[in-house]
Structure 1
């Protein structure tokens, strides 16, 4: 590691409980103890072994690539990111990995067309760090080597993943753009790919405690290219929309953006849909947060309508979409009271019921019956059973979630069909923008699935950046010190193992009618009590804690069973399938009876687990690149850099291990011609001898299998901590 200094006058980093690390000067030495006067004014007496040396030659603006730091330790990395952040240099490399720190403000001229042209074709690392450089490197490798690429944008909620993904897509659209427009829509494929972003954000993003524009679904965009490197098609795949947000919003959060946009629509649209102030709707006013700072919902409504037109959603379809949204809002205002019969219910008043029925274009009585009654079919007879007010309210919310989920899926499918896929495309670049790790006061089924996703992505990162890099050194017999890194395989087994994993036990509970969240929790405790990554909180009766790679998260199981059951209420299906609105009826095609499917239970968690497996399989066919997004503070405000917060994210994301590998290994690989052009002047005589035995660069490549780390003389550039590979 790094040998600490014990000389008076030397500069070191010491640990601090508030700021993580502080820099200071050694003013006194007493054997293994030193006294350090920090620049912050604090004084510490610490063990020499508990300090890190400070590089006093690092410029105040920091360095663009962490691998060029003399000391690649925690305080050095942290200080470098902080120095750059405060001068609005929010991007920094660690070898080939880009770290992006969210500025929480607009940075002028950083993403304009001039910058696109600036990065076009520039060798990676030759310009300032930027997502454009990552996108360009992916595009060039795809074109030159015929290898599909993927760019994985990761980080916790609020770190800026969605904006970074949009920046990548903008660059790729410019690189693969065509002059010829799609004659059917008068829009190019790349225009449609870009304009899909605001549409999906409107219907899939919301304000949460940690992020004002949080993606409540995962998204993987595959951009397909033809042989000339032009965009020829695209496919958007979405994962696990947070359905529960439609009818249940936590304090200080908001529902999906589209609802507030609709309530801020032009007066004629408001009248047509019989809308009122958003505070009057139960699905919007639960959290006492209606207005979002810095967001004009009326302007966003207009922008969203324009974007919907570009991606191929007609005006008639747009009208129908917003009709459905308005119907959901009115549906949420239906309240229930006791009916005349025992355990029955009726709407308290018919105003909201009537408007919802009009907008759904269905029979008012049929809507009431679908909410307040259930039909049970037995071999002998058909029985109509009444629901009590609480069950009727649950039925209302289930219908709202069911409708919104179908609407969201329709929008995604419409965008994909409008853009079109190229069956002849051989190569693609995938951009992954998926929810970040979440840990709230209350963590339910959604957080469990989201954190499973992050475990999967972290495992992918570990395998490709940490494990495969070291395996490459072993294969090429390079001398270096092995770096240990946390492997989260055991956590994945805890969740996914069959039988006995958390998902398997949840599915098992869902298949038994008498199961409750209490019996499910007890089964978890009994089965997993010896697993070191699982625990039961002392004072909780039904909670459980998972030791994730990013920290411990305690989950509340109250709604796990309900949220995991992926069933359609037959009355809801029949009601909306019979709608006089062809758009709404099209969202709910009649169910095809299939006895084999009826007997086989398919849960939300199992379907999601399968989706993730397919995503990981797809990523394995590509050359991955990584962008790690970092949230500098929890206030979501500019110019604030919280050391402890940032350091925790770097640790949890495996970045410290990646940085350590870069320090100890060979983070940069260069093609032979580029390497020789850059470094031949340093050892021309050695190269003359070398080429006496090797007739050409081609023969060298054949000798070494295409890798520069074999077949090359054992010489290095003096003073370089990384050898000649870095220059």
Structure 2
């Protein structure tokens, strides 16, 4: 473990007075700056020869402090500024921040008590300490310094083991150590003998801690350990030769205590029990925890000075973490039901659940999902059946399947469109969560439509819809520093049902594909997965030869062929690429892509890679660009099916048409590179749009009847890299818009309606980010409007853009920050999640995203039919092409390479199809040149896309899933509390818990409530007066057994009547829906019986008539 990579503690904790001293350093009281809570801070001077022990203590605390008998670890920090240690030597320091134990050490307690000490109190302390030891030993950790001074008591007298500075880690359970370490009077004989015997002849294991624990029991009973009156070195020689010690004769202890010591102090360690065996000893088994705690409190009040009261409460306070019982994780399924909640309690609850692989937690009707970063078997058919078949008033437990079930139920009973918004940081698990949500929704729909599970229908639909996932991930996902499979586009899935809730189809809208990744990636990042699949995963020799593919090292766009150190190249493993390629080809064929189309797609991808290898320079001091190294240009010419000079001219010259006259301007090398990159980005962007459009054509038939929809939003999470550019700005503004949507739905509209309807509710505040959105999106003075204005001005530069932004926002907006130096081309934004610094160079060019007319004309006349079609059709706000693209693929003019790769069985089809395609072409399909109309910028398209997305979501009833990333390293079984806390803070989880406890998220007009649930309170067909709708609401709820002051609610009222509306707790509609489903089942049974009766009656009549 590299200590220097830890964070600086300066911004984390304020240091207060010294409260103790451990084996390696002093312990201070501290205050966490973000939580304003008390912690203990152990400061360890870093001595080079002790680095191994220091690192091990940090490792043990980080991995094993979740047990309730080990002091909870907050985090480790590196203080790089040298400070004096106890010997006056300047050393850098490691700060270990952990739980503060207000009642000090067990030694301090017993020394203050009168004699004799209460025997059950000592037994309680020993039992709890042994529990902690058993946990450590199970994880192959020996403490090696168990004594009263390393057993601490919290303010609530819970027992905690501390000080792992001399612990040892075993490789396996039978491993042994031979290092002499510990505090002399408590050391086991076999540990001491390691020093007194020839090296390697004597060893010890975890049972050395059992000896030390028994000595500690004597220490607590007698006030000091055996032999403590003699010098430590003399005691070390006495312990191996003396008989095992026992209690003094000053007091008569119970026989069980004596027997415990006899068993635990066996001189032969092989005859000494291990921790798990010792736990069952009668002396410990008879301990009554509550009685012992009560005694401790009374004794402390009488004999101990009262623990100091501080302005701030203690982090990880006992009342927070033990209120629900540690083995009953189901009691914490819903954070809105916690009796006492705080940030520390919520983080602790999530951590405890996460440690038991319980990754889902509810906040009322909102789901929190912690990414496990490992496979957990909670998504199989049995789990699907549990949730689909559940008609209980209470759902089984929090799960994404439960969210899908609730969404489907809401669609059925409300008749309103639904949407599920899945949000979180990059790497928090949004895409996987979306997959499971859709999977369960399809499964639930198959159940609902037929009244029983239709496996054939479900399997077919799942196969076709879920087959789109690996295709979209291959073309739209990439490795970033935050996530190995990061979505670099936003996806809004619309699942369509008819009015009988039968699945009819699916459409996909895609937003903000990060096209710039095609031509450049950040350090330790990769291009889109599909390029590596093609280069490293395709083993078809004919294709590889024709497409001129070798390895990733050969392509600039994949980080290769540069003069930099190739060891730093981020490549994809061969096995991953082969598997990814095979899956991609299989799924594309399953979704109806033809063999010819797949060949064209691979040709286009190879073309993009070879384009990246075309380089430019100047000859003989001229300024105009010339192509250097003709091999790459020839490759591109061959793949594109255009003449070499045509391609060279398109890349190195800017062609414009004004009033019918063509104007040609030579480009400088850097401009030619931009031109080349613009072509690559444009081709890939159109390819991705076509793939999404092609998938939609397969999944969504022409529908004429009225549809009901469930939308599923899976969009890139908030990003803050070391280097942030225009792409991160768009991504983060989109996340700001989603946060605003969440705030409006969860807080603003509910509080506003409660107030206007005269319903009292607690004063709940939340952060309103609308002013920040206005700063970006308003016209004509918003940031994007200014960016567009500069982008349309040919002479604009990054410097002029910076000046304009600083002038407009630096002093007028609290969210905007300008750099101290006017020469620094950057600005910062205080986003809802955190402050982000954006680098301005490249903003204008990325926003223009302009393809030169020369390049566009060349692509419209090239030999790749799909590419020609791409540039005849615009991509709409939802990232898909118009409906007439299929009639616009003219394959009569194909490149030699394409013809050589096209399977024979497709060639005749292509020739026949080409004649029909040409006939279908319309004059409007031809490109238009020379018009004065401004081309839309990326930010304009972004605003249109955002508007389109929000309009769809505003028409639907939302369901929210908050994905949490438990650690930044994407490691399983690792939960970093501070990292999680930051996510909970900026997403407003605390306020969400509060409003779900106190508020009423379901708000319905009286007549709408009656329309939905009338059957629960009145006979079918009963006519109700509109003026009595309010009374009808009360009767329906009463008949359904939902009293206004239902037991078990977090507040006295579970529903309230306003002036025109009824307000319901989040769980009331679940109860009502469950009863509606029972009525529906009863109605089906009655219909079945009635049909049987009439069938039998008609049959009897026919028989009589026949006779």
Q: Deviations over 1:75-102 (max 9, x none)?
A: 1110110001111110000100000000
Question: Could you say which residue in structure 1 is the equivalent of 2:830?
Answer: 547
Choose the corresponding residue for 1:515, options 796, 803, 807: 796
Choose the corresponding residue for 2:336, options 53, 63, 67: 67
Preserved contact between residue 221 and residue 432 of structure 1 (Cα < 8 Å): yes
State the shift of 1:586 in Å.
1.7
Choose the corresponding residue for 2:1051, options 701, 712, 722: 722
State the shift of 1:173 in Å.
2.2
State the shift of 1:618 in Å.
1.0
**Secondary structure of the residue that 1:156 maps to in structure 2?**
coil
Question: Could you say which residue in structure 2 is the equivalent of 1:620?
Answer: 954
1:351 aligns with 2:643: no
CA separation of 1:57 and 1:395: change in aligned 2, threshold 3 A: same
State the shift of 1:381 in Å.
5.3
**Secondary structure of the residue that 1:723 maps to in structure 2?**
coil
CA separation of 1:116 and 1:507: change in aligned 2, threshold 3 A: same
Preserved contact between residue 669 and residue 708 of structure 1 (Cα < 8 Å): no
Give the number of the structure whose alpha-carbon radius of gyration is greater. 2
Choose the corresponding residue for 1:572, options 855, 865, 868: 855
Question: Could you say which residue in structure 2 is the equivalent of 1:19?
Answer: 74
1:427 aligns with 2:708: yes
State the shift of 1:568 in Å.
2.5
Q: How far apart are the structure 2 equivalents of 1:600 and 1:116?
A: 52
Preserved contact between residue 830 and residue 836 of structure 2 (Cα < 8 Å): yes
Q: How far apart are the structure 1 equivalents of 2:322 and 2:834?
A: 34
Q: How far apart are the structure 1 equivalents of 2:591 and 2:638?
A: 29
Gaps of 5+ in 2: 1-34, 42-72, 76-96, 105-153, 164-306, 561-565, 873-924, 1007-1016, 1055-1066, 1069-1107
Question: Could you say which residue in structure 2 is the equivalent of 1:276?
Answer: 550
Q: How far apart are the structure 2 equivalents of 1:501 and 1:13?
A: 37
State the shift of 1:292 in Å.
4.2
Question: Could you say which residue in structure 2 is the equivalent of 1:703?
Answer: 1030
CA separation of 1:697 and 1:656: change in aligned 2, threshold 3 A: farther
Preserved contact between residue 242 and residue 446 of structure 1 (Cα < 8 Å): yes
Question: Could you say which residue in structure 2 is the equivalent of 1:102?
Answer: 371
Choose the corresponding residue for 2:479, options 207, 210, 214: 207
Preserved contact between residue 74 and residue 99 of structure 2 (Cα < 8 Å): no
1:653 aligns with 2:987: yes
Choose the corresponding residue for 1:438, options 686, 703, 719: 719
Preserved contact between residue 121 and residue 140 of structure 1 (Cα < 8 Å): no
Question: Could you say which residue in structure 2 is the equivalent of 1:401?
Answer: 681
Preserved contact between residue 35 and residue 46 of structure 1 (Cα < 8 Å): no
Question: Could you say which residue in structure 1 is the equivalent of 2:352?
Answer: 83
Preserved contact between residue 345 and residue 372 of structure 1 (Cα < 8 Å): yes
Q: How far apart are the structure 1 equivalents of 2:1042 and 2:557?
A: 69
Preserved contact between residue 150 and residue 429 of structure 1 (Cα < 8 Å): yes
Q: How far apart are the structure 2 equivalents of 1:696 and 1:72?
A: 46
Question: Could you say which residue in structure 1 is the equivalent of 2:778?
Answer: 497
Question: Could you say which residue in structure 2 is the equivalent of 1:318?
Answer: 598
CA separation of 1:15 and 1:508: change in aligned 2, threshold 3 A: farther
1:525 aligns with 2:806: yes
Question: Could you say which residue in structure 2 is the equivalent of 1:139?
Answer: 408
User: What aligned pairs does 1:306-385 form with structure 2 within 5 A after superposition?
Assistant: 306-339=586-619, 342-378=622-658, 382-385=662-665
**Secondary structure of the residue that 1:648 maps to in structure 2?**
helix
Q: How far apart are the structure 2 equivalents of 1:251 and 1:507?
A: 29
Question: Could you say which residue in structure 1 is the equivalent of 2:1088?
Answer: none
Q: Deviations over 1:127-169 (max 9, x none)?
A: 1211111111111111222111000000010000000011111
CA separation of 1:40 and 1:633: change in aligned 2, threshold 3 A: farther
Give the root-mean-square deviation of aligned CA atoms: 3.5
Preserved contact between residue 589 and residue 595 of structure 2 (Cα < 8 Å): yes
CA separation of 1:604 and 1:174: change in aligned 2, threshold 3 A: same
**Secondary structure of the residue that 1:152 maps to in structure 2?**
strand
State the shift of 1:345 in Å.
2.6
Choose the corresponding residue for 1:218, options 490, 508, 512: 490
Question: Higher relative contact order by CA 8 Å / sep ≥ 6: 1 or 2?
Answer: 1
CA separation of 1:380 and 1:571: change in aligned 2, threshold 3 A: closer
Choose the corresponding residue for 2:421, options 152, 155, 161: 152
Preserved contact between residue 24 and residue 36 of structure 1 (Cα < 8 Å): no
**Secondary structure of the residue that 1:479 maps to in structure 2?**
coil
Choose the corresponding residue for 2:584, options 304, 309, 314: 304
Q: How far apart are the structure 2 equivalents of 1:327 and 1:451?
A: 32
CA separation of 1:40 and 1:724: change in aligned 2, threshold 3 A: farther
Preserved contact between residue 321 and residue 348 of structure 2 (Cα < 8 Å): no
State the shift of 1:477 in Å.
3.6
Preserved contact between residue 651 and residue 676 of structure 2 (Cα < 8 Å): yes
State the shift of 1:64 in Å.
1.0
Question: TM-score, with normalisation over the residues of structure 2?
Answer: 0.58
State the shift of 1:341 in Å.
7.7
CA separation of 1:212 and 1:700: change in aligned 2, threshold 3 A: farther
Preserved contact between residue 24 and residue 37 of structure 1 (Cα < 8 Å): no
Preserved contact between residue 671 and residue 708 of structure 1 (Cα < 8 Å): no
State the shift of 1:670 in Å.
12
Preserved contact between residue 219 and residue 239 of structure 1 (Cα < 8 Å): yes
CA separation of 1:283 and 1:48: change in aligned 2, threshold 3 A: same
Q: Deviations over 1:667-712 (max 9, x none)?
A: 789999xxxxxxxxxxxxxxxxx99xxx999999932685899999
> Which stretch of structure 1 is more off in the superposition, 468-477 or 435-444?
468-477
Gaps of 5+ in 1: 1-11, 29-33, 673-689
CA separation of 1:124 and 1:355: change in aligned 2, threshold 3 A: farther
CA separation of 1:508 and 1:40: change in aligned 2, threshold 3 A: farther
Question: Could you say which residue in structure 2 is the equivalent of 1:256?
Answer: 528
Question: TM-score, with normalisation over the residues of structure 1?
Answer: 0.87
Choose the corresponding residue for 2:731, options 450, 460, 478: 450
Q: How far apart are the structure 2 equivalents of 1:425 and 1:193?
A: 21
Q: How far apart are the structure 1 equivalents of 2:951 and 2:1035?
A: 29
Choose the corresponding residue for 1:556, options 839, 856, 862: 839
Q: How far apart are the structure 2 equivalents of 1:306 and 1:284?
A: 25
**Secondary structure of the residue that 1:251 maps to in structure 2?**
coil
Preserved contact between residue 421 and residue 961 of structure 2 (Cα < 8 Å): yes
Question: Could you say which residue in structure 2 is the equivalent of 1:4?
Answer: none
**Secondary structure of the residue that 1:297 maps to in structure 2?**
helix
1:191 aligns with 2:463: yes
Q: How far apart are the structure 2 equivalents of 1:605 and 1:316?
A: 35
**Secondary structure of the residue that 2:731 maps to in structure 1?**
helix
**Secondary structure of the residue that 1:150 maps to in structure 2?**
strand
Choose the corresponding residue for 1:112, options 380, 390, 411: 380
State the shift of 1:406 in Å.
1.0
**Secondary structure of the residue that 1:222 maps to in structure 2?**
strand
State the shift of 1:328 in Å.
0.9
Question: Could you say which residue in structure 2 is the equivalent of 1:664?
Answer: 998
CA separation of 1:381 and 1:670: change in aligned 2, threshold 3 A: closer
CA separation of 1:259 and 1:545: change in aligned 2, threshold 3 A: same
CA separation of 1:604 and 1:281: change in aligned 2, threshold 3 A: same
Q: How far apart are the structure 2 equivalents of 1:534 and 1:456?
A: 17
Q: How far apart are the structure 2 equivalents of 1:246 and 1:145?
A: 44
Preserved contact between residue 321 and residue 349 of structure 2 (Cα < 8 Å): no
State the shift of 1:573 in Å.
1.2
Question: Could you say which residue in structure 2 is the equivalent of 1:675?
Answer: none
**Secondary structure of the residue that 2:677 maps to in structure 1?**
helix
User: What aligned pairs does 1:474-493 form with structure 2 within 5 A after superposition?
Assistant: 474-493=755-774
Preserved contact between residue 746 and residue 1001 of structure 2 (Cα < 8 Å): no
1:537 aligns with 2:819: yes
- Give the number of aligned pairs: 687
CA separation of 1:124 and 1:222: change in aligned 2, threshold 3 A: farther
CA separation of 1:663 and 1:430: change in aligned 2, threshold 3 A: same
State the shift of 1:19 in Å.
2.2
